[in-house]
Amino acid sequence: MQPRLFTTQQTELTSDDYYTPKWIFDALGLHFDLDVASPPHPTHVPCDRFLTQADDGLTADWHGRVWMNPPFSKPALWVERWHAHANGIALTVMSKSRWFDQLWTDSAVAALALPPTLKFDRGSIFLPTMLWAIGADNIAALHNCGHVR
């Protein structure tokens, strides 16, 4: 495994820093080129490079397979960028929003509802969450995790 590379060090947690549980990565069995919205201290994301809030992942260059667990308070621009990038896995909250409907109705995107009791490694959220996949290898990995629409 290559060393973890951070462009800029973010030192403080924010209310949008929800660490994805390790079992999700274990179930996916994927390695990512880039985590585009990393909290300041990722522990087990199988990834080569991490962009924290200080790096502004929305404007930074994205490459390869991306992992995205965006700020849940304002996910729309993140989801739009992830969708356009078309290679990765995203974890989002369920939402009555345009971006959610856009992903849900796109036949190139697969979705998996996560257990309603999902606990993040740091922090918890009261909203249900989803995993989304785009790109053939990513969709196959999501299908291997369980029931996918």
Q: Is residue 107 part of a domain?
A: yes
Question: What pLDDT is recorded for position 125?
Answer: 67
- Domain limits for position 58: 17-145
Q: Is residue 37 part of a domain?
A: yes
What is the count of structural domains for the chain? 1
- The predicted-structure confidence for 96-134, as pLDDT tens digits, reads as follows 999 999 999 999 999 999 887 777 766 666 678 999 999
Question: What is the average pLDDT across 33-50?
Answer: 88
59: exposed, middle or buried (Cβ count in 10 Å: 0-12, 13-18, 19+): exposed
- The predicted-structure confidence for 48-80, as pLDDT tens digits, reads as follows 999 988 899 999 999 999 999 998 889 999 999
Q: Is residue 6 part of a domain?
A: no
Query: For the sheet containing 109-113, what is the strand order?
Result: 5-6, 47-52, 32-38, 66-68, 88-93, 129-134, 109-113
